[in-house]
Amino acid sequence: MTPTETPPIRTGAAEKQAPTRAWGTRLVIVGIVLAAMNLRPAITSLGALLEEVRDGLGMSGTLAGLLTSVPPLCFAFFGVMAPRLARRFGPSAVVCVGMAAIATGLVIRPFIGGTAGFLAATALALMGIAVSNVLMPVIVKRWFPDRVGSMTGLYSMALALGTSLAAAVTVPMTDALGGRWQSGLAVWAVLAVVAVVPWIPLVRARGAATEATSEHVSKTVQREDAELRITHSRTAWALAVFFGLQATAAYITMGWMPQIFRDAGVPAGQAGVLLAVTMAMGVPLAFVIPRVATRLPNQGPVVVALGVCGLAGYTGLYLAPAGGAWAWALLLGISNCAFPLALTMVGMRAKSSVGVAKLSAFAQSTGYLISIPGPLLIGVLYQHSGGWGLPIALMAGLMVPQIIIGTLAGRNRTVEDEVAARAAAA
């Protein structure tokens, strides 16, 4: 029975459980949306004020590139811990603490003093984002096993909304708060505090109906997932590499695109709005793409379409960054929707929430490790070449392997079947 189904007859404890289960389901939906909205403002708000932060903390271009590499490093390191923490404390508790870590990190990082303190507080916020990143597909699979596409779309849409909102309003909000970049960054802690609230009753209800899952899997699948060696799956590796390449493109975009436009003569406020446009493309598309993907036996064509948009956007950014700024922002926004596609494929490539937890942790942690050099290399190339020609060429070049590997990851198969087939052949 799914969380939304109602049997025709209920008696005794079943009658009492029905409203509790329905209440828990609605609370999970609210929690997922609010949590998703907090998974990127820590990054895109910094991208909008990167020049001010660099000047305020005395950072070089290379060190600023290192700063833009911190998110994937933290996601890789902390994300791999999420399944273990979820097994011990429950996914709801881990996400709740994750939201609290985001709020704490965001409120202290602008005022802690010095580059080292700024990086440490940023890492605390990113730790909360990392575990929540990994557990969102798990929670979706557990609570909504028959609606993976639509719920992943809702989660991805909320994530894109939070991302674009932070990119669009950080600069004007900073001006409204007195022009201090510290206030413009710290204010995003408020959204994280709000996101803690719906998870608290879910944590308190752990073990009750609200924490129960309606997911029913056979004993064979349970045994497969308990013994699953995820590194023996080619699809898991393809998903990890695809995730890493799309994350590279996304964090380069979030960290450097406003600066590219500003260096081309675009005003700071408009550069932030252009980044917001890029991120805002994910609001409608992040809802549509997962729904389309779950209806296709092979997600390769979607991968190709998004990759071609990325190639076109980078080409335009290279040839006429200011003249066609709005078009390039739109195209890159479409291309960045490879993220919700990757999350959807994670949910589709395993048979149960346990398998999804292992695949999500592996694909995201390995993927973010792969993405770490990208933003740093962009900063180094920018500083030593004196322009954006080489960095943009690198961005465009990475789209080619992303298309190829993503097509392999989109094939219709599960990691459990691949690992079982490999074991049988050994």
Q: What pLDDT, in 10s, does the model give residues 36-45? A: 999 988 887 8
Q: Residues 44, 279: contact at Cβ < 8 Å?
A: yes
Residue 266 has pLDDT above 90, yes or no: no
Residue 424, pLDDT > 50, answer: yes
Share of the chain above pLDDT 70, in %: 86
Q: Which two tokens stand for residue 184?
A: 């413009």
- Residue-range definition of the domain harbouring residue 308: 21-425
Q: Are 230 and 415 in contact (CB under 8 A)?
A: yes
| CA triple 268-272-277, angle to 5 deg | 145
Residue 13 placed within a domain: no
Residue 1 has pLDDT above 60, yes or no: no
* Neighbour count for residue 297 (Cβ, 10 Å): 8
* Whether residue 386 has pLDDT greater than 90: no
**Tokens found for residue 41:** 């403002």
In a domain? residue 404: yes
Number of other CB atoms surrounding residue 267 within 10 Å: 11
Q: Render pLDDT for 35-89 as a digit per residue (tens, 0 to 9).
A: 999 998 888 787 777 777 777 777 666 666 667 667 777 887 888 888 888 878 8
pLDDT tier for residue 3 given thresholds of 50, 70 and 90: very low
The model's pLDDT over 402-423, given as tens digits with 9 standing for 90+, comes to 999 999 999 988 888 787 777 7
pLDDT at residue 279 tops 80: no
Per the listing, tokens 């508790």 go with 93
Q: 91 vs 19, 28, 104, 207, 318, CA distance in Å?
A: 22, 11, 20, 12, 43
More confident residue, 354 or 380: 380
pLDDT of residue 414: 81
pLDDT, position 175? 83
pLDDT given for residue 4 in this prediction: 39
The residue that leads in pLDDT, 95 or 226, is 95
Residue 4 within any structural domain of the chain? no
Whether 274 is in a domain gets the answer: yes
What secondary structure does DSSP assign to 213-228, as a single string?
A: ------HHHHHHHHT-
Q: Are 270 and 321 in contact (CB under 8 A)?
A: no
pLDDT at residue 16 is higher than 50 = no
CATH code of residue 323:
1.20.1250.20
**Which residues, at least 6 apart from 242, have a Cβ–Cβ distance to it below 8 Å?**
303, 338, 342, 345, 367, 402, 405, 406, 408, 409
Residue 397, exposed/middle/buried by CB under 10 A (0-12, 13-18, 19+)?
exposed
Which one-letter amino acid corresponds to residue 380? V
Q: Cα(214)–Cα(357) distance, rounded to whole angstroms?
A: 16
Q: Report the alpha-carbon distance of residue 37 to residue 41 in Å, rounded.
A: 8
Neighbours of 411 (CB within 10 A): 15
Report the distance separating Cα 24 and Cα 203, nearest Å.
Answer: 11
Which one, of 402, 375, 328, 389, lies nearest residue 61 by Cα?
A: 375
**Confidence at residue 399, expressed as pLDDT on a 0 to 100 scale:** 94
Residues 292-305 have a mean pLDDT of 91
pLDDT per position as a tens digit, 180-198: 778 888 889 999 999 999 9
In a domain, 14, yes or no: no
Q: Are residues 340 and 286 in contact, defined by beta-carbon separation less than 8 angstroms?
A: yes
Is 313 within a domain?
yes
Res. 214: pLDDT tops 50: no
Q: DSSP string covering 367-391, please?
A: HHHHHTHHHHHHHHHHHHHSSSHHH
What does the angle CA 160 – CA 162 – CA 164 come to, to the nearest 5 degrees? 65
Q: What share of the chain has pLDDT > 90, as a percent?
A: 23
Instruction: Count how many domains the chain has.
Output: 1
pLDDT value at residue 25: 79
More confident residue, 5 or 269: 269
CB 161 within 8 A of CB 285: no
Asked whether residue 420 is assigned to any structural domain, the reply reads yes
Q: In 49-188, where does DSSP find H-type helix?
A: 50-57, 61-79, 82-89, 91-108, 114-143, 148-176, 181-186
Sequence letter at residue 259: Q
Q: Report the pLDDT averaged over residues 348-360.
A: 79
CB-CB contact of 159 with 144 (8 Å): no
Residue 227 binned pLDDT confidence (cut-offs 50, 70, 90) = low
Kindly state whether residue 9 falls inside one of the protein's structural domains: no
> Which band of pLDDT confidence, cut at 50, 70 and 90, is reported for residue 21?
low
Amino acid in position 242: F
